[in-house]
Structure 1
Amino acid sequence: MDDSAGQHATAAEVERALFALNDGTRSFEVRRNGDRIEGVWRHDARGEGIVIGGVEWRYRVTLIGETGEYKDSILAKNFDTGNDYFSFKSTDVSHPMQAVLAQHGWTKHRGAFRRAFGRIFGGA
């Protein structure tokens, strides 16, 4: 979607596009969790460095109404980055989801701290 005029797709359109990532070609699943949409990657690894039988990494996106902005966060459970049991890159989950958001004209929400920091250091 062209965002040159500040237009963006509706939240419902973006949600449908995010869920379309569940096409069987990716190593993660997109799910709804309350008001969030999450890209969830899991591995049922066992062994040293795994606290309780498996690992999980979630990239969480919250669409802020119909503003064209979103908030994101990350949640990792039982994750040891120095493992020898599996290979994982967080960008395998976050980049496809961020690409869908950008293609639909949605941008990351800039909180008060980021706006102030941007003004101080010359960012918009």
Structure 2
Amino acid sequence: LAQACLSKQWFYPPRQEAMAAIVKVECDGEIQRLPVAAPVTYERILERVASSWPELLAGGASLKYEDEEGDLCTLTPATMEDLVLLQPPKGQQHVLRLKLVRSSAVGAAAPAAAAA
């Protein structure tokens, strides 16, 4: 029986190769680690974040990353390369850090629409 168990490839935690990156997302002081499979794309990151905060993304929230000057830049398909270059892999695991920022435009649009 022991030999049979040794012949099976069981791993806990799952093998690191299964995930291409860990995306750490901070929102309202809460941080979640979200594994993203390869290839890591804007769409895959958005899907993973939407699984944790669907109401915020539906409400117009945006994902931001910090650049080398400390500015928060909006993550879009066009800025994915910038994010990856600014946050290169360290060791075996690639960790990408993002902030989920609530949309102020959504909150401001509601009173304006009500006044009209």
TM-score by length of structure 1 reads 0.24
Which protein has the larger Cα radius of gyration, Structure 1 or Structure 2?
2
The structure in which a higher percent of residues are helix is 2
